[in-house]
Structures are given as structure tokens and as C-alpha cells.
């Protein structure tokens, strides 16, 4: 059969992603499925691509919420166009570069500041960054 649908087990095996994660992605709206009369999930083949995109994006550090937003522009059951990949790639690259720069600035500051031995409050830029790291709110912070 051409364009045969996938069960969750098949999708899990072929994508290398656990079935529990796939159900989770579906709850979060990143992927979609049809249901059989017996309430089981059937995935369109293009879902394989969507999952690949999700994992690739995660591997460069993107949070699922952002990936979800971008995938929102990609209708279900439609294979992602070349344009889509390119646009997404550009978008991600910007983000990653920004993060790398941020880390480089931090490292330089740290060596500088530790090197001078100050580490006293009010003077030290490391202890009081002020610019970055500010207003991240309470709770856990992503590294």
C-alpha cells in the first residue's frame, strides 16, 4: 500500500523516539494523529519528518514551546517544503549564535573578574550582571 499510515509503535521505532514521548508531543500539539474506530492513533507518513525536525531542533537546544510555534506554520499531513527547512534553519542559527555569544561574554567576564580576585559585591560585573540573566523570574532556569 502506498502512503500507509503508521501506528505509534511503528513511528516510535522508525523515529527512534519513545511512544510516551510521541503521545507527549501530541498533547503539546507538535504532531497530530487520526484515530481508528478503536481509538488508536494512526500517523500520516509526513509525521516522520515532523518528528525528525523536532529532535534536530532539540539537539541544538530549542525548547519544545518554540519548536511548536514554528511547526504551527506547517499544516498537518503536509510534507515540509524546502523553503520551510531553510527558514527554520536561519531562525535557529540566529538563536544558537546568540547563545554562543552570550556564553563567550560570560566566560570572558568570569576569567577577568576571578583573575583580579575581586568577587566583591557592587563592583563586580559577574556578580551583578544586570543586563543578561535579569528578569528571568522565579523557579528553575534553563542552562
Pick one of 16, 38, 115, 117: the residue that binds DNA (CB under 7 A): 38
Q: Which stretch binds DNA (CB under 7 A): 12-20, 71-79, 105-113, 120-128?
A: 12-20
Residue 39 near DNA by CB under 7 A: yes
Cα angle: 44, vertex 50, 52; to 5 degrees: 120
Contact residue for DNA among 19, 48, 91, 118 (CB under 7 A)? 19
Nearer to its own copies, 4 or 142 (CB): 142
Find the binder of its own copies among 66, 73, 77, 111 (CB under 8 A).
111
The cell numbers describing 73, all together, are 506554520
Of 36 and 100, nearer to its own copies (C-beta) is: 100
CA 45 to CA 67: how far, in whole Å? 19
Cell reading at 111: 576569567
Q: Angle at which helices 47-59 and 82-116 pack, to 10 degrees?
A: 20
Amino acid at each position: 500500500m502506498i502512503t500507509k499510515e503508521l501506528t505509534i509503535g511503528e513511528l516510535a521505532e522508525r523515529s527512534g523516539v519513545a511512544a510516551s514521548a510521541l503521545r507527549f508531543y501530541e498533547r503539546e500539539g507538535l504532531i497530530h494523529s487520526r484515530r481508528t474506530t478503536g481509538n488508536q492513533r494512526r500517523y500520516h507518513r509526513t509525521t516522520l519528518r515532523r518528528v525528525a525536525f523536532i529532535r534536530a531542533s532539540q539537539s541544538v537546544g530549542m525548547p519544545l514551546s518554540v519548536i511548536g510555534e514554528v511547526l504551527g506554520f506547517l499544516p498537518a499531513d503536509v510534507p515540509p517544503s524546502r523553503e520551510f527547512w531553510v527558514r527554520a534553519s536561519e531562525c535557529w542559527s540566529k538563536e544558537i549564535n546568540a547563545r554562543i555569544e552570550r556564553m563567550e561574554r560570560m566566560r570572558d567576564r568570569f576569567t577577568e573578574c576571578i583573575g583580579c580576585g575581586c568577587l566583591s559585591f557592587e563592583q563586580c560585573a559577574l556578580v551583578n550582571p544586570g543586563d543578561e540573566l535579569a528578569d528571568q523570574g522565579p523557579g528553575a532556569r534553563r542552562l
